[in-house]
Amino acid sequence: MTQPIPWLDGPLWPYLALLVFAVLPTEIWRWLAVAFARRIDPDSPALEWVRAVATALLAGIVAKLIVAPPGALAAVPLFIRVAALAATLAVMLVDRRRLLFAVLAGEAVLIGGAWLAASA
């Protein structure tokens, strides 16, 4: 558990932490985009690199949530968690517009698998 910064600790700490360490680093890019919208070329190599890193980071978050999952998800065997991702990916590879169907397929594998594993 990350401890609060001592001299800022108090009942309002969670709010402050959220604003400084989550809202600010997220929102700043939206603000910068508004400020520089006319001067940024969306196709420049720098932005391509940024997009690649952001995509990899998101994939990394997915992997971390599956390999070292929070709470109740940890009670489900790893191969079922991976199978759920695979099911989602399989549907998306067949038709990229079937987002809902892909999510439902992954969920069906996970919940069904977890149920079978729990009752086995």
Partner 1 sequence: MALAGMRDALSLPAWVVGFGLVGIGSLARDVGYPVEVAVLSTILVWAGPSQVIFFASIATGAAWSAIALAIGFASLRFLPMTVAIMPLLQRPGQSVRMQLLLAHYVAVTAWTEGLRRLPGMPPHQRVVYFLAFANTCMLVSSIGTFLGYYLLGELPIPLAAGLLCLTPIFFLASLSAGLRHRGDIVAIVLGLALAPICDRFIGGGFDLIVAGLVAGTIAFFFRPRKRGP
27 to 46, contacts with partner 1 by CB under 8 A?
Answer: 27-34, 36-37, 40, 42-43
Instruction: Please pick, from the candidates 6, 9, 10, 21, the single residue that binds partner 1 as defined by CB under 8 A.
Output: 21
Q: What sign results for the dihedral spanned by CA atoms 56, 62, 30, 92?
A: positive
Q: Interaction with partner 1 in 100-119: which residues (CB under 8 A)?
A: 100, 102-103, 106-107, 110-111, 114-115, 118
- Pattern 63-102, binding to partner 1, x per CB under 8 A? xxxxxxxxxxx-xx----x--xx--xx--xx--xx-xx-x
- The DSSP letter of residue 4 is P
DSSP state for residue 77 in the 8-state scheme: -
Cβ-based neighbours of 47, under 8 Å, separated by 6 or more: 40, 41
